[in-house]
Structure 1
Amino acid sequence: MASLRVVDRVVDGLRAAGPEQTAVARELFWLGAYAGEVFVRRAGAEWVDLDPGHQKLFGQLVGVRMPDGRAWNPIGKVANRFAAGPEESVQQMYFLLHGRLAVPALAGR
Protein backbone atom coordinates (compact mmCIF):
# COMPACT_ATOMS: atom_id res chain seq x y z
CA MET A 1 0.00 0.00 0.00
CA ALA A 2 3.00 2.31 0.43
CA SER A 3 3.35 2.21 -3.36
CA LEU A 4 0.20 4.33 -3.61
CA ARG A 5 2.31 7.30 -2.55
CA VAL A 6 4.43 6.58 -5.60
CA VAL A 7 1.27 6.62 -7.74
CA ASP A 8 0.47 10.07 -6.35
CA ARG A 9 3.99 11.28 -7.16
CA VAL A 10 3.96 9.85 -10.69
CA VAL A 11 0.67 11.61 -11.35
CA ASP A 12 2.13 14.83 -9.93
CA GLY A 13 5.08 14.45 -12.31
CA LEU A 14 2.78 13.98 -15.28
CA ARG A 15 0.78 17.01 -14.18
CA ALA A 16 3.89 19.17 -13.78
CA ALA A 17 4.96 18.33 -17.33
CA GLY A 18 1.90 20.26 -18.48
CA PRO A 19 0.10 17.99 -20.93
CA GLU A 20 -3.64 18.02 -21.37
CA GLN A 21 -5.33 15.22 -19.43
CA THR A 22 -6.45 13.57 -22.66
CA ALA A 23 -2.79 13.25 -23.71
CA VAL A 24 -2.02 11.10 -20.65
CA ALA A 25 -5.43 9.43 -20.21
CA ARG A 26 -4.00 5.98 -20.94
CA GLU A 27 -1.26 6.35 -18.33
CA LEU A 28 -3.76 7.65 -15.77
CA PHE A 29 -6.07 4.70 -16.46
CA TRP A 30 -3.28 2.18 -15.86
CA LEU A 31 -2.13 3.94 -12.70
CA GLY A 32 -5.74 3.80 -11.48
CA ALA A 33 -5.95 0.12 -12.36
CA TYR A 34 -2.75 -0.48 -10.40
CA ALA A 35 -4.22 1.36 -7.40
CA GLY A 36 -7.38 -0.74 -7.66
CA GLU A 37 -5.31 -3.90 -7.66
CA VAL A 38 -3.61 -2.73 -4.46
CA PHE A 39 -7.08 -2.36 -2.95
CA VAL A 40 -7.89 -5.91 -4.08
CA ARG A 41 -4.71 -7.49 -2.76
CA ARG A 42 -4.31 -5.49 0.44
CA ALA A 43 -7.83 -4.52 1.52
CA GLY A 44 -10.04 -7.40 0.41
CA ALA A 45 -11.74 -5.52 -2.44
CA GLU A 46 -12.85 -7.14 -5.68
CA TRP A 47 -13.06 -5.75 -9.20
CA VAL A 48 -16.66 -5.34 -10.34
CA ASP A 49 -18.61 -4.09 -13.32
CA LEU A 50 -20.37 -1.07 -11.88
CA ASP A 51 -24.15 -0.82 -12.00
CA PRO A 52 -25.61 1.98 -14.16
CA GLY A 53 -25.98 4.35 -11.19
CA HIS A 54 -22.34 3.97 -10.19
CA GLN A 55 -21.24 4.20 -13.83
CA LYS A 56 -22.97 7.56 -14.08
CA LEU A 57 -21.59 8.75 -10.73
CA PHE A 58 -18.01 7.59 -11.35
CA GLY A 59 -17.80 7.94 -15.12
CA GLN A 60 -16.27 4.45 -15.25
CA LEU A 61 -17.50 1.00 -16.20
CA VAL A 62 -15.45 -0.81 -13.54
CA GLY A 63 -14.49 -0.17 -9.95
CA VAL A 64 -13.75 -2.06 -6.79
CA ARG A 65 -16.22 -3.25 -4.19
CA MET A 66 -15.18 -3.56 -0.57
CA PRO A 67 -16.29 -6.47 1.62
CA ASP A 68 -18.90 -4.18 3.21
CA GLY A 69 -20.49 -3.68 -0.24
CA ARG A 70 -19.35 -0.11 -0.94
CA ALA A 71 -18.05 0.67 -4.41
CA TRP A 72 -14.94 2.82 -4.94
CA ASN A 73 -13.37 4.37 -8.03
CA PRO A 74 -9.55 4.23 -7.94
CA ILE A 75 -9.29 4.92 -11.69
CA GLY A 76 -11.27 8.11 -11.27
CA LYS A 77 -9.28 9.07 -8.17
CA VAL A 78 -6.07 9.04 -10.21
CA ALA A 79 -7.71 11.24 -12.85
CA ASN A 80 -8.87 13.58 -10.07
CA ARG A 81 -5.30 13.76 -8.72
CA PHE A 82 -4.12 14.85 -12.15
CA ALA A 83 -6.87 17.46 -12.48
CA ALA A 84 -6.88 18.86 -8.94
CA GLY A 85 -3.45 18.17 -7.53
CA PRO A 86 -2.31 17.06 -4.08
CA GLU A 87 -5.66 17.47 -2.33
CA GLU A 88 -6.76 14.33 -4.23
CA SER A 89 -4.56 11.52 -2.90
CA VAL A 90 -4.79 7.88 -3.97
CA GLN A 91 -2.86 6.83 -0.87
CA GLN A 92 -5.22 8.78 1.38
CA MET A 93 -8.19 7.14 -0.39
CA TYR A 94 -6.82 3.75 0.68
CA PHE A 95 -6.72 4.84 4.32
CA LEU A 96 -10.32 6.06 4.10
CA LEU A 97 -11.72 2.83 2.65
CA HIS A 98 -14.55 1.54 4.77
CA GLY A 99 -14.73 -2.20 5.30
CA ARG A 100 -11.03 -2.92 4.74
CA LEU A 101 -9.96 -6.42 5.62
CA ALA A 102 -6.61 -7.04 7.22
CA VAL A 103 -4.98 -9.03 4.42
CA PRO A 104 -1.66 -10.59 5.41
CA ALA A 105 1.38 -9.57 3.39
CA LEU A 106 2.05 -11.89 0.49
CA ALA A 107 5.26 -13.83 0.93
CA GLY A 108 7.99 -12.76 -1.43
CA ARG A 109 6.24 -9.60 -2.70
Structure 2
Amino acid sequence: MSEGFKPTAADMRRHATAFVARVASSRLPLDTSVASLRVVDFLIDGLRKGAPGRDRPDAVLFGLGAYVGEVLVRCAGAVWVDLDADQRAYFGQQVGVRMPDGRVWNPLGKVVNRYEVGAEESLRTFYLTLPGRAGGRECAAL
Protein backbone atom coordinates (compact mmCIF):
# COMPACT_ATOMS: atom_id res chain seq x y z
CA MET A 1 0.00 0.00 0.00
CA SER A 2 1.22 3.49 -0.66
CA GLU A 3 2.51 5.57 2.24
CA GLY A 4 -0.30 8.13 1.97
CA PHE A 5 -3.13 5.60 1.63
CA LYS A 6 -5.78 6.28 4.29
CA PRO A 7 -8.78 3.96 4.07
CA THR A 8 -12.08 5.04 5.56
CA ALA A 9 -14.83 2.98 7.14
CA ALA A 10 -17.18 3.98 4.32
CA ASP A 11 -14.83 2.39 1.77
CA MET A 12 -14.05 -0.92 3.47
CA ARG A 13 -16.89 -2.98 1.98
CA ARG A 14 -15.79 -1.81 -1.47
CA HIS A 15 -12.18 -2.82 -0.71
CA ALA A 16 -13.31 -6.28 0.47
CA THR A 17 -15.53 -6.75 -2.59
CA ALA A 18 -12.72 -5.67 -4.93
CA PHE A 19 -10.30 -8.11 -3.27
CA VAL A 20 -12.72 -11.02 -3.64
CA ALA A 21 -13.27 -10.07 -7.30
CA ARG A 22 -9.49 -10.04 -7.92
CA VAL A 23 -9.06 -13.56 -6.54
CA ALA A 24 -12.32 -14.97 -7.98
CA SER A 25 -10.54 -16.72 -10.85
CA SER A 26 -8.70 -18.87 -8.31
CA ARG A 27 -12.04 -20.33 -7.18
CA LEU A 28 -11.25 -19.71 -3.53
CA PRO A 29 -14.37 -20.06 -1.36
CA LEU A 30 -14.36 -16.50 -0.02
CA ASP A 31 -18.06 -16.22 0.73
CA THR A 32 -17.87 -14.16 3.97
CA SER A 33 -18.66 -17.23 6.03
CA VAL A 34 -16.85 -18.03 9.26
CA ALA A 35 -15.54 -21.19 7.55
CA SER A 36 -13.87 -19.03 4.89
CA LEU A 37 -11.53 -17.66 7.55
CA ARG A 38 -9.70 -21.01 7.36
CA VAL A 39 -9.09 -20.23 3.68
CA VAL A 40 -7.65 -16.87 4.69
CA ASP A 41 -5.37 -18.63 7.19
CA PHE A 42 -4.18 -20.99 4.42
CA LEU A 43 -3.63 -18.08 2.01
CA ILE A 44 -1.49 -16.30 4.56
CA ASP A 45 0.49 -19.49 5.20
CA GLY A 46 1.21 -19.59 1.46
CA LEU A 47 2.30 -15.95 1.47
CA ARG A 48 4.60 -16.66 4.41
CA LYS A 49 6.24 -19.59 2.60
CA GLY A 50 6.77 -17.57 -0.56
CA ALA A 51 8.00 -14.41 1.16
CA PRO A 52 11.48 -15.07 2.58
CA GLY A 53 13.77 -12.29 1.46
CA ARG A 54 10.90 -10.36 -0.15
CA ASP A 55 8.98 -7.34 1.04
CA ARG A 56 5.79 -7.95 2.97
CA PRO A 57 2.83 -8.11 0.53
CA ASP A 58 0.97 -5.16 2.08
CA ALA A 59 -1.64 -4.78 -0.67
CA VAL A 60 -2.66 -8.43 -0.36
CA LEU A 61 -2.68 -8.27 3.43
CA PHE A 62 -4.85 -5.15 3.27
CA GLY A 63 -7.31 -6.97 0.98
CA LEU A 64 -7.40 -9.95 3.33
CA GLY A 65 -7.86 -7.63 6.31
CA ALA A 66 -10.76 -5.88 4.58
CA TYR A 67 -12.27 -9.30 3.89
CA VAL A 68 -11.85 -10.47 7.51
CA GLY A 69 -13.44 -7.25 8.73
CA GLU A 70 -16.33 -7.80 6.35
CA VAL A 71 -16.82 -11.30 7.82
CA LEU A 72 -17.09 -9.64 11.24
CA VAL A 73 -19.63 -7.17 9.83
CA ARG A 74 -21.74 -9.80 8.10
CA CYS A 75 -21.52 -12.62 10.64
CA ALA A 76 -20.88 -11.01 14.02
CA GLY A 77 -22.89 -7.78 13.79
CA ALA A 78 -19.87 -5.46 13.67
CA VAL A 79 -19.73 -2.14 11.83
CA TRP A 80 -16.74 -0.51 10.18
CA VAL A 81 -15.57 2.60 12.03
CA ASP A 82 -12.98 5.31 11.46
CA LEU A 83 -10.64 5.11 14.43
CA ASP A 84 -9.94 8.16 16.58
CA ALA A 85 -6.38 9.42 17.12
CA ASP A 86 -5.76 7.29 20.22
CA GLN A 87 -7.12 4.16 18.53
CA ARG A 88 -5.02 4.82 15.39
CA ALA A 89 -1.92 5.15 17.57
CA TYR A 90 -2.74 1.92 19.43
CA PHE A 91 -3.78 -0.20 16.44
CA GLY A 92 -1.58 1.39 13.77
CA GLN A 93 -4.57 1.49 11.39
CA GLN A 94 -7.08 4.08 10.17
CA VAL A 95 -10.15 1.85 10.45
CA GLY A 96 -11.47 -0.97 12.59
CA VAL A 97 -14.75 -2.60 13.49
CA ARG A 98 -17.05 -1.96 16.44
CA MET A 99 -18.81 -5.02 17.83
CA PRO A 100 -22.40 -4.96 19.12
CA ASP A 101 -21.06 -4.72 22.69
CA GLY A 102 -19.07 -1.56 21.80
CA ARG A 103 -15.60 -3.12 21.69
CA VAL A 104 -13.36 -2.06 18.81
CA TRP A 105 -11.21 -4.60 16.96
CA ASN A 106 -8.53 -4.32 14.31
CA PRO A 107 -8.98 -6.91 11.53
CA LEU A 108 -6.37 -5.25 9.30
CA GLY A 109 -3.75 -5.52 12.03
CA LYS A 110 -4.87 -9.03 12.94
CA VAL A 111 -4.12 -10.18 9.38
CA VAL A 112 -0.66 -8.58 9.57
CA ASN A 113 -0.08 -10.39 12.89
CA ARG A 114 -1.15 -13.68 11.29
CA TYR A 115 1.38 -13.09 8.50
CA GLU A 116 4.22 -12.05 10.82
CA VAL A 117 3.67 -14.50 13.70
CA GLY A 118 2.09 -17.54 12.06
CA ALA A 119 -0.56 -20.12 12.88
CA GLU A 120 -0.94 -19.16 16.54
CA GLU A 121 -2.63 -15.97 15.27
CA SER A 122 -5.32 -17.94 13.39
CA LEU A 123 -8.09 -15.72 12.04
CA ARG A 124 -10.68 -18.47 12.39
CA THR A 125 -9.78 -18.93 16.05
CA PHE A 126 -9.84 -15.15 16.48
CA TYR A 127 -13.43 -15.08 15.23
CA LEU A 128 -14.54 -18.08 17.29
CA THR A 129 -13.12 -16.64 20.52
CA LEU A 130 -14.10 -13.03 19.82
CA PRO A 131 -16.15 -11.50 22.63
CA GLY A 132 -19.07 -9.27 21.79
CA ARG A 133 -20.40 -11.12 18.73
CA ALA A 134 -24.09 -10.97 17.98
CA GLY A 135 -25.37 -14.51 18.34
CA GLY A 136 -27.48 -16.55 15.96
CA ARG A 137 -26.80 -14.48 12.86
CA GLU A 138 -26.71 -15.80 9.33
CA CYS A 139 -23.74 -14.48 7.38
CA ALA A 140 -24.79 -12.28 4.49
CA ALA A 141 -23.01 -12.96 1.19
CA LEU A 142 -20.57 -10.43 -0.23
TM-score after normalising by structure 2 = 0.71
RMSD: 1.4
Query: What is the identity, as a one-letter code, of the residue corresponding to 2:55?
Result: E
Q: Deviations over 1:50-81 (max 9, x none)?
A: 11111111100000000110000111111111
Name the CA distance, whole Å, in 1 between partners of 2:90 and 2:124: 21
Unaligned runs of 5+ in 2: 1-33
Name the CA distance, whole Å, in 2 between partners of 1:96 and 1:62: 21
Q: Identity over aligned residues, as a percent?
A: 55
CA positional deviation for 1:31? 0.2
Tell me which residue corresponds to 2:97: 64
Name the CA distance, whole Å, in 1 between partners of 2:60 and 2:72: 19
The answer to whether the aligner puts 1:99 opposite 2:135 as a matched pair is no
* Superposition map of 1:44-59 within 5 A: 44-59=77-92
**Would you say how many aligned residue pairs link Structure 1 and Structure 2?**
106
Tell me which residue corresponds to 1:11: 44
Name the CA distance, whole Å, in 2 between partners of 1:42 and 1:9: 20
- Structure 1 segments, 4+ long, off by >2 Å, are none
Query: What is the identity, as a one-letter code, of the residue corresponding to 1:8?
Result: D
Q: Deviations over 1:55-108 (max 9, x none)?
A: 1111000000001100001111111111111111111111122111121244x7
CA positional deviation for 1:44? 0.2
Q: Deviations over 1:12-59 (max 9, x none)?
A: 1011002321xx100000000000000000000000001111111110
Unaligned runs of 5+ in 1: none
Name the CA distance, whole Å, in 2 between partners of 1:85 and 1:104: 29
C-alpha spacing 1:105/1:86, structure 2 compared with 1 (3 Å):
closer
- Give SS of 2:38's match: helix
